[in-house]
């Protein structure tokens, strides 16, 4: 079905931050499959884990024990500080699990019509629950009736959450992105998550974080919330967890960890041996290297270089980032920059119409950073002239 407006390029192979198309032309991948290939392409540890596992066992279903799934759950809870994990196959599914968990939590507390608060400009996925949670009317158009039980307030506005929660006793949870990705790389105030944590504790509602884009080292810590020294009740992950192998996870802690019980939720593929072999390789590689710390340093380098190479350009409204989640907001729609960059061997993305989004692999090196910032800055200068 024609559900995608694709760029006119087809890739054949990759290595680290580089991709080659079917004609042999090389590109620097500064979008990493939309925050998926944090370890770059064809990472040897992931390759080895997948090839070994595919010769052993791909799938048995969750009717039986899965040793690798238990190992991944141990590692994930250790790295995130959460208590337990439900495995699925994508980000939207991870959010569906969170939505179900929040609703059941509400019912357990005598609330018949539980409501989940999310934010305007948020993106939580395309299935009906996650789509209803999403705060973007454009992508909901044509799909009514949406699921009831969601309200949206402005992002980065703690007073708006407080007012909504105080006014509606049916609110059982908030679902928030630590940095809005699709909504324009919107980085909130540094204490936004801390304030949400306090508010949720005060009102005894669940703090749920959608870390599907921010998680797995992207922002300079394994989970973005770790930079705030807090722990949510629920967080969702996907994207970079399998470095390209489809896998998602919904993690819970404390009271939230006991809500979903046998028979409440499930997935045929979720957490199968093949996916878990990839995840384990990803998590071990991240733990054994400086890649997560580097995300902070490299994100800053990229932003500094772009700022320096475009000094004085009044059409750049803001360059913002958390680690290697970077947005360069222009004063005008700039979607055509994607094709211009592609022609010069650079993959970028534009989101929210006027924000150039960069999500390079965490292992991007100094030379690649210079190529990225030279190419992009020159394009911005020419485009805004």
Instruction: Tell me which stretch binds ligand PLP (CB under 6 A): 47-55, 119-127, 160-168, 290-298.
Output: 119-127
Beta carbons of 341 and 375 less than 8 angstroms apart: yes
Measured from the CB atom, is 31 or 369 closer to ligand PLP?
Answer: 31
**Smallest gap from residue 183 Cβ to ligand PLP (A):** 9
Give the position of tokens 């042999």. 24
Contact between 212 and ligand PLP (CB under 6 A)? yes
Quick check: is 123 catalytic?
yes
**Smallest gap from residue 124 Cβ to ligand PLP (A):** 5
Q: What is the DSSP letter of 10?
A: -
SS3 117: strand
The dihedral of CA 246, 226, 171, 183: what is its sign?
negative
Beta carbons of 175 and 210 less than 8 angstroms apart: yes
Tokens of 205: 């509602």
Tokens of 199: 């508010």
Quick check: is 210 catalytic?
yes
Rg (C-alpha) for the chain, rounded Å, is: 21
Which one of the listed residues 29, 121, 210, 371 is annotated catalytic? 210
Measured from the CB atom, is 40 or 181 closer to ligand PLP?
Answer: 181
Residue nearest to ligand PLP (CB): 91
**Smallest gap from residue 378 Cβ to ligand PLP (A):** 29
Contact between 90 and ligand PLP (CB under 6 A)? yes
Tokens of 85: 């994990």
Among 209, 238, 256, 352, binds ligand PLP (CB under 6 A): 238
**Smallest gap from residue 35 Cβ to ligand PLP (A):** 7
Instruction: Tell me which stretch binds ligand PLP (CB under 6 A): 64-72, 120-128, 326-334, 360-368.
Output: 120-128
Contact between 69 and ligand PLP (CB under 6 A)? no
**Smallest gap from residue 181 Cβ to ligand PLP (A):** 4
Instruction: Tell me which stretch binds ligand PLP (CB under 6 A): 4-12, 89-97, 316-324, 346-354.
Output: 89-97
Quick check: is 121 catalytic?
no
Measured from the CB atom, is 31 or 68 closer to ligand PLP?
Answer: 31
Helix/strand/coil (H/E/C) assignment for every residue in 164-180: HHHHCCCEEEEEECCCE
Beta carbons of 348 and 338 less than 8 angstroms apart: yes
Total number of residues that touch ligand PLP (CB under 6 A) = 15
Which one of the listed residues 75, 239, 298, 340 is annotated catalytic? 239
Among 27, 105, 123, 150, binds ligand PLP (CB under 6 A): 123
Among residues 283, 300, 297, the alpha carbon closest in space to that of 249 is found at 283
Among residues 179, 183, 175, the alpha carbon closest in space to that of 130 is found at 175
Among residues 265, 209, 214, 216, the alpha carbon closest in space to that of 234 is found at 209
Q: What is the Cα–Cα distance from 291 to 199, expressed in whole angstroms?
A: 33
Among 91, 217, 273, 323, binds ligand PLP (CB under 6 A): 91
Q: What is the Cα–Cα distance from 330 to 350, expressed in whole angstroms?
A: 10
Site string for ligand PLP, 9-48 (x = CB under 6 A): -------------------------x--------------
Measured from the CB atom, is 57 or 128 closer to ligand PLP?
Answer: 128
Considering only residues 143-182, where is the footprint of ligand PLP by CB under 6 A?
A: 177, 181-182
Beta carbons of 324 and 6 less than 8 angstroms apart: no
Helical packing angle, 273-288 and 291-309, nearest 10°: 70
Measured from the CB atom, is 68 or 88 closer to ligand PLP?
Answer: 88
Tokens of 57: 């066992």
Q: Is 24 exposed, middle or buried (0-12, 13-18, 19+ CB in 10 A)?
A: exposed
Among 53, 80, 92, 272, binds ligand PLP (CB under 6 A): 92
Contact between 124 and ligand PLP (CB under 6 A)? yes
Q: What is the Cα–Cα distance from 235 to 249, expressed in whole angstroms?
A: 8
Site string for ligand PLP, 318-347 (x = CB under 6 A): ------------------------------
**Which residues belong to the active site?**
123, 210, 239
* Residue numbers at the binding site for ligand PLP (CB under 6 A): 34, 90-92, 95, 123-125, 177, 181-182, 210, 212-213, 238
């Amino acid at each position: 079905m024609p559900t995608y407006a694709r760029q006119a390029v087809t890739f054949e192979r990759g290595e680290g931050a580089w991709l080659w198309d079917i004609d042999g032309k090389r590109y620097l991948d500064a979008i990493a499959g939309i925050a998926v290939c944090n370890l770059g392409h064809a990472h040897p540890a992931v390759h080895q884990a997948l090839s070994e596992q595919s010769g052993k066992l791909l799938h048995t279903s969750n009717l039986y024990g899965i040793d690798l799934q238990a190992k991944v759950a141990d590692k994930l809870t250790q790295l995130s500080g959460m208590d337990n994990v439900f495995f699925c196959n994508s980000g939207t599914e991870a959010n569906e699990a969170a939505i179900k968990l929040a609703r059941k939590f509400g019912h357990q507390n005598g609330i018949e019509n539980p409501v989940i608060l999310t934010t305007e400009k948020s993106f939580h996925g395309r299935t009906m629950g996650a789509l209803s949670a999403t705060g973007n009317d454009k992508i909901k158009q044509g799909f009514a009736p949406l699921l009831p039980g969601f309200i949206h307030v402005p992002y980065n506005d703690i007073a708006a959450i407080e007012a909504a929660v105080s006014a509606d006793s049916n609110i059982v949870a908030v679902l928030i992105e630590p940095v809005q990705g699709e909504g324009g790389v919107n980085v909130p105030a540094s204490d936004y998550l801390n304030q949400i944590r306090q508010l949720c504790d005060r009102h005894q509602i669940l703090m749920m974080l959608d870390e599907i884009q921010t998680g797995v080292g992207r922002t300079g810590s394994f989970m973005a919330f770790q930079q705030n020294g807090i722990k949510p009740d629920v967080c969702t992950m996907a994207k970079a967890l399998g470095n390209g192998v489809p896998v998602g996870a919904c993690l819970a802690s404390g009271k939230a960890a006991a809500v979903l019980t046998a028979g409440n939720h499930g997935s045929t593929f979720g957490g199968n041996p093949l996916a878990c072999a990839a995840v384990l390789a990803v998590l071990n590689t991240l733990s054994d290297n400086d890649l997560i710390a580097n995300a902070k340093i490299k994100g800053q380098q990229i932003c500094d270089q772009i700022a320096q190479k475009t000094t004085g350009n009044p059409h750049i409204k803001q360059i913002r980032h958390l680690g290697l989640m970077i947005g360069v907001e222009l004063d005008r729609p700039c979607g055509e920059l994607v094709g211009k960059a592609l022609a010069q061997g650079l993959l970028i993305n534009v989101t929210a119409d006027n924000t150039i989004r960069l999500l390079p692999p965490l292992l991007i090196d100094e030379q690649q950073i210079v190529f990225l910032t030279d190419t992009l800055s020159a394009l911005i200068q020419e485009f805004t002239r």
